[in-house]
């Protein structure tokens, strides 16, 4: 039984981390739309599009609503290069539909991970496990594993973000329709590679920060448990 309890503890730890990772994505992308304005200014996106900030942010909000499943079609009529037209073309719509599937799939995974965490926690309580010992230790072990992976990914991004970015698309997409021509596609002008790099860094800071907060709590819980033994 003890072995099963420790397995449940590890599953609980990894489930919590999955929830934190996907939540970090969501918070980075949706909590503050001001970040997009700052990124557009940083990369001179408005000049590339010949659009106003208001119109660009309108397109951004509608696109992000689409990715979250809050609107059915990715079609936004606005003024680009002095002409009123649909900002998105057919290739944009196809690729972003695949991105939306990934994003909504991630939200489903978060829900499943949260359910798994609750079930593991209930099991530990019902089986009268020494959860005050198991949970902190399992979290610390899981953190070590995830930490190594996060460090390796961070190094790879710092060394060659473009290579990581390309490999990501090769893993998650089975076509080359994620390759856009800036001369023809407004969307790629609005979303330069630097913006994605900055967003990954933002997600990383949120994720690592939340992991470290829980790590501190696990250390405190471990010390309290030892003191009471």
The pLDDT tens digits of the residues spanning 122-168 come to 999 999 888 889 999 999 999 999 999 999 999 999 999 999 999 99
pTM of model > 0.85: yes
| Rounded Cα distance, 87 and 92, in Å | 9
Nearest 5°: the CA angle 213, 215, 219 is 120
How far is residue 70 CA from its own chain's centroid? 18
| Rounded Cα distance, 67 and 104, in Å | 8
List, in order, residues 6 or more apart from 22 with CB less than 8 Å away: 106, 107, 109, 110, 113
Q: 20-68: per-residue pLDDT in tens?
A: 999 999 999 999 999 999 999 999 999 999 999 999 999 999 999 999 9
| Rounded Cα distance, 98 and 147, in Å | 29
Helix (H) or strand (E) segment spanning residue 88: none
Phi-psi region of 127 (alpha: psi -120 to 50; beta: other; left: phi over 0): alpha
Checking if the pLDDT of 229 tops 90, the result is: no
Query: Hey, what are 70's tokens?
Result: 């809050």
Query: Hey, what are 133's tokens?
Result: 């010992």
Mean pLDDT of the chain: 93
The position carrying tokens 């970015």 is 165
Please compute Rg for the chain using Cα positions: 22
| Three-state SS at 77 | strand
| Rounded Cα distance, 2 and 128, in Å | 10
pLDDT, residue 2, reads 83
């Amino acid at each position: 039984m003890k072995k099963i309890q420790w397995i449940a503890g590890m599953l609980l730890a990894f489930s919590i981390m999955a929830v934190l990772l996907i939540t970090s994505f969501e918070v980075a992308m949706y909590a503050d739309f001001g970040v997009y304005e700052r990124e557009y200014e940083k990369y001179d996106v408005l000049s590339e599009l010949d659009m106003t900030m208001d119109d660009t942010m309108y397109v951004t909000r509608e696109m992000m609503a689409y990715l979250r499943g809050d609107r059915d079609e990715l079609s936004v009529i606005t003024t680009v290069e002095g002409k009123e037209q649909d900002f998105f073309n057919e290739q944009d719509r196809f690729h972003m539909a695949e991105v939306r599937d990934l994003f909504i799939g991630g939200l489903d995974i978060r829900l499943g991970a949260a359910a798994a965490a609750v079930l593991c926690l209930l099991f530990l309580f019902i089986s009268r496990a020494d959860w005050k010992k198991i949970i902190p230790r399992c979290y610390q072990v899981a953190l070590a594993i995830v930490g190594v992976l996060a460090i390796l990914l961070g190094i790879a991004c710092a060394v060659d973000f473009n290579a990581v970015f390309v490999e990501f698309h090769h893993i998650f997409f089975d076509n080359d329709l994620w390759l856009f021509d800036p001369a023809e596609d407004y969307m790629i002008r609005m979303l330069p590679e630097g913006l994605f790099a900055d967003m990954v860094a933002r997600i990383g800071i949120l994720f690592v920060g939340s992991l470290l907060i829980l790590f501190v709590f696990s250390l405190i819980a471990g010390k309290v448990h030892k003191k009471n033994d």
